Amino acid sequence: MAHAMQLAPALLVRPVAFLGQVLISAALAFTGRWQFRPKDLGRITADCSGRAVPIVTVVNVLVGAILAFVGAVQLVKFGAGIYVADLVGIAVAREMAAIITAVVMAGRTGAAFAAELATMQSNEEVDALEVLGLSAVDFLVLPRVAALLLMMPLLYVYGCVTGLVGGMVVAAGMLQISPAAYLDRTLVALDWSHLGLGFAKSFVFGALIGMVGCYFGLYAQRNAAGVGVATTNAVVTSIVGIIVLDAVFAICANALGV
């Protein structure tokens, strides 16, 4: 019991210290004193953007279609089928595009970050960087977090578009709503507050996924099993963190009347 009580503060201190190191490295990078290679940032950015587009497209189209189907079944009873565009537009912009895209990226990119860094830790490559005078946070963590910070908002916008397309297809098939009428109603329902909230969520989710994946990768056990454990912990922690942060956003948005 005493040993467990001693471990608890240590487990809390390490993530906070890691977050502080990332913030300090980011501040130094803004002044032009970064240590990572631009080609590494380009490679990671490509993996976080173009190579993630197919799965992001499929998932968001299906989510938009599901929302439209559920809404159409209920709204058609009241002769208000056209308002399915309002339902899909607002739900996708405020919640679903940001959350679904973040969950996909947590399972795809966050897991990859954790596995890659855990393998490097197992092979003592991280120690070699430290011996050469290169900080692991500066050289390995910062480009990964920066890539997700840059790409997640763009993927959110793309997710919104594909989600609306999925909803439009279902509305046209079930309710015979023309694409022009659907888009017109969507533009009426959406405003910048919905899009701004989703955009802010995507930015925060990107930072969370990047830092969680890198954290569990850097502090993984130095064996084959440690790679699997680090990957699992990164995905589970990222998804739970996304849901918790979304709840915080919902409470703040309600308090601010957004």
Residue 200, pLDDT above cutoff 70: yes
pLDDT at 36: 72
User: Highest-confidence range of 8-17, 74-83, 95-104, 176-185, by mean pLDDT?
Assistant: 95-104
For residue 43, tell me if it sits in a domain.
Answer: no
| 127/221 Cα distance (integer angstroms) | 14
Residues 45-99 pLDDT 10s? 888 888 888 999 999 999 999 999 988 888 787 777 788 888 899 999 988 999 9
Average pLDDT, rounded, for the chain: 85
Is 80 exceeded by the pLDDT of residue 171? Answer: yes
The answer to whether the beta carbons of residues 220 and 122 sit under 8 Å apart is: yes
Is 7 inside any structural domain?
no
Higher pLDDT among residues 246 and 123, named by residue? 246
pLDDT digits over 16-40, tens only?
888 888 888 888 777 767 667 778 7
CB atoms within 10 A of CB 176: 9
> pLDDT value at position 11?
67
Res 219: pLDDT: 87
Residue 101 has a pLDDT of 93
Question: Which pLDDT score, from 0 to 100, does residue 164 have?
Answer: 92
- pTM score over 0.95: no
CA distances from 2 to 5, 11, 15, 176 (A): 5, 15, 22, 67
Question: With contact defined as beta carbons under 8 Å apart, do 40 and 143 qualify?
Answer: yes
Confidence category of residue 12, pLDDT binned at 50, 70, 90:
confident
pLDDT in tens, 134-153: 777 788 888 888 899 989 99
State the Cα–Cα distance between residues 99 and 115, nearest whole angstrom: 23
| Rama region for 36: left / alpha / beta (φ>0; ψ in -120 to 50; rest) | beta
Residue closest to 218 by CA, chosen among 164, 138, 150: 138
**100 inside domain:** yes
Q: What is the pLDDT of residue 6?
A: 53
Long-range own/partner contacts, residues 37-42 (CB < 8 A, 24 or more apart): 40/143, 41/143, 41/146, 41/147
Q: Is residue 244 part of a domain?
A: yes
Top-confidence range, 80-84, 137-141, 183-187, 241-245: 241-245
Residues spanned by the domain of 222: 55-256
In a domain, 135, yes or no: yes
**More confidently predicted of 76 and 118:** 118
Asked if 60 and 169 touch (Cβ cutoff 8 Å), the reply is no
- Please tell me the total count of domains within the chain: 1
Q: What is the share, in percent, of the chain residues with pLDDT greater than 70? A: 94
Q: 50 lies in a domain? A: no
In a domain, 70, yes or no: yes
**CA dihedral (16, 238, 51, 118) positive or negative:** positive
- Does 46 reside within a domain? no
Nearest to 201 by CA among 257, 160, 143, 141: 160
